[in-house]
Amino acid sequence: MSPKEPLHARSLQHDFVWKVRLTHPDRAEVRIEWAGRPIVFDPVQVRDGDLVVLTSAAPDRVRGTAAAVATGQKPDVVADPAILEWLRQQGGIGELSAPGGTIAGAGFRAVPYAPVSAVRPLNHFLRASIGALRPRITFAALAEGARAAPVEGVEPRAWELTFPRVGRLVHLDLALTRQTSEAWMEGAAGLFGADWLIVGCAYGEAEAVAALVPRFQAGQVLVTELVNGERKARGLPTEGVTLLRDRLHSAGLPAHVFATQASFRFE
């Protein structure tokens, strides 16, 4: 068997000794390998055979998929209908592309949430302090962060993936902030009780994430670095997720740090 052969082709012939492997290569990209087709959230680079899931229309989230389309690839994509239409105009996407439902044997369901900028400073004082220390980098960073997404008016989405005979995975992205309403939490109740919960933390929002994550009652919580790569590239300060993980673990949650280039296998 060729080492270049797609993972999902191998998985159809051989049972894995683990249910799911999760890998976090870079930026907001999260790869899921299971007994079916590989699934990748917000890829930096799209591989042959990937089923792409886009959490939002933010430039950093769609850049890798748009680059793949521009080079002639036609990846299958699960995303908001407006994002799918924009990708079709850039060069085309696969026949299985859809906003949700059952695709390649896995179930997909989206829950929109209020957007939070990945590049905003915490407050006006911090903005002024950064500007005084690194004005050329910071002003360029803020201008880049304010640049419009390629598709306007698209809310970011948390995603629930259901793998037959394996389990449920919920990717909350940056949905949990101090602005998360009780009404949103009640509407997201269907996401509770997942086997795996991927949760990011927007800059300055660790308190809100620590307070809300326990309500999801997940089997495993992966506190994931989703914005640090983007912020570093723009010269903005970052926050690690280790302290947040420690708070969740102290509260009795099965929480793990899901840092860039880390990988987890769950049996």
For tokens 């907001």, name the residue: 28
pLDDT tens column, 35-64: 999 999 999 999 999 999 999 999 999 999
Q: Read off the tokens for 39.
A: 């699934």
Q: Read off the tokens for 170.
A: 């919920």
Whole-prediction pTM = 0.86
Q: What's the one-letter identity of residue 131?
A: G
Rounded to whole angstroms, how far apart are CA atoms 45 and 167?
26
Check residue 99 and report its DSSP letter: S
Helices of type H across the chain: 7-11, 59-70, 81-90, 124-133, 135-146, 182-187, 206-212, 228-233, 242-250
Fold held by 7-266:
Metallo-beta-lactamase; Chain A (3.60.15)
Rounded to whole angstroms, how far apart are CA atoms 133 and 155?
34
Do 54 and 80 touch, CB atoms closer than 8 A? yes
Query: Domain ranges in the chain?
Result: 7-266
Kindly report the backbone phi and psi dihedral angles of residue 120, in degrees, each rounded to the nearest multiple of 5, phi listed first.
Answer: -70, 140
pLDDT tens column, 120-139: 554 444 444 444 555 554 54
SS3 for 110?
A: strand
Of 18 and 196, which is predicted with more confidence? 196
